Structure 1
């Protein structure tokens, strides 16, 4: 199985360097690492190239177009996605490969995470942060949502939904949007293995956190009325019984 790792980045050179170092220390090296430079004004692209990554340029600013550009460029059989401020555990690539090889019907999966920065006394709140996202998004979707900082999907699955995702809606919550489309093909699984190291930045006070919440709500409403929860749940349940 060939594995592509995709990292969207915009002006995050220092965290990106740490992320790439962790990827080089994997027990199973990815076959390619794609860094999508989303119109950065810092040294992100230079750091990516010096770290052995393939740089893909995306001048349309926003995570949805940048992530989609990386998925489109991937040549592997399996795409792994994380963010520039992530620190993957050493067995992340190997664990994902093993799980997808053993589960040929699995199309996508997402895994746990832990905070690696911020006050130590508050790092346990990663469970609250991800648990809240899982409950809220899961209620809308009818299944587990994908989490963009620790995500895996088969490349063929991406290609089947690439024209349906809202890649040009720059205020869309991209991993939630992807959950709607991939979840229609098959229930996302749970990635096994150690948690992904992530930054506490999403919880910092200010406009950033409010913007994430608004993006999530807007993404849910964007899929109505076809994916209004009771209707979506009924459709997915009927599909599972048919299979």
Structure 2
């Protein structure tokens, strides 16, 4: 069985982190290691992590990409799970992710979030205005499903292949999208609703919050230049699909 490390970046989010760590403790397939990356918290986030038995790493330079990368770099597991401090995974989340990763062609898996602290209206519009557009639009731009940082798992070998490409020192990048862009277009990523986690409704907390997220997404495409170009990504993906189809046909004819 592969070993599993869970990475949770945190900044002044002790209450949410406590719930996240409790959900990890209740997993049917427990993590072998939980790494909480303290990104300069002024509250007791680090103390909450230590009390739960997590390994605490400090990343004083602010930025989600910087904190997440620090966690991925120090994780020891064969599989790296990334959750946010406000993520609350169901008890079978890790077991489900590992089952999906049994396919050797899959380099990463991800799932959506659903709000746990929102009223009825937000619960209704959340998938329509946030989750569905994110996965549909980003899939169109990336030629594959994007990673969602609140609920994702990737092989450690995948991270090692791309760690020098990510823009960890740019605090304005959207780290989920940036990491997704570093994957080669032919790599296989699965997005599965079985990996849904509960999250905070903070993306809908204010208009400036939504605008900031959109601005960071566009900025991430700009800094990635040719690597982020949707036409180039789709052209490479289609070439790979045609090559794989031809190889499959050749194998079948040779039987």
Q: TM-score range by the shorter chain?
A: over 0.9
Structure 1 residue 2 and structure 2 residue 3: aligned? yes
Gaps of 5+ in 2: 245-255
Partner residue of 2:213? 212
What do residues 176-218 of structure 1 show as CA deviations (whole Å, max 9, x unaligned)? 0111112435031124625210111011113221110100111
CA contact (8 A) 1:13 1:43 kept: yes
CA contact (8 A) 1:111 1:196 kept: yes
Gaps of 5+ in 1: none
Distance 1:99 1:82 in 2: 17
What do residues 67-107 of structure 1 show as CA deviations (whole Å, max 9, x unaligned)? 00000011000011110011110100111112212x11210
Q: Structure 1 stretch 144-153 or stretch 224-233: which is displaced more?
A: 224-233
Distance 2:195 2:69 in 1: 26
Partner residue of 2:122? 122
Q: Structure 1 stretch 219-228 or stretch 76-85: which is displaced more?
A: 219-228
Partner residue of 2:113? 113
Structure 1 residue 135 and structure 2 residue 139: aligned? no
What do residues 157-190 of structure 1 show as CA deviations (whole Å, max 9, x unaligned)? 0000000111111110001011111243503112
CA contact (8 A) 1:118 1:200 kept: yes
SS at match of 2:126: helix
TM-score, normalised with respect to structure 2:
0.91
Partner residue of 1:68? 69
- Structure 2 matches for 1:183-202, cutoff 5 A? 183-184=184-185, 186-191=187-192, 193=194, 195-202=196-203
Distance 1:34 1:75 in 2: 10
Partner residue of 1:164? 165
CA RMSD of aligned residues (A): 1.4
Aligned length: 242
CA contact (8 A) 2:84 2:150 kept: yes
Partner residue of 1:87? 88
Q: Report how far residue 134 of structure 1 moved.
A: 1.4
TM-score, normalised with respect to structure 1:
0.95
What do residues 28-69 of structure 1 show as CA deviations (whole Å, max 9, x unaligned)? 111000000001111000000001110011111010000000
Q: Report how far residue 122 of structure 1 moved.
A: 2.3
Distance 2:51 2:184 in 1: 36
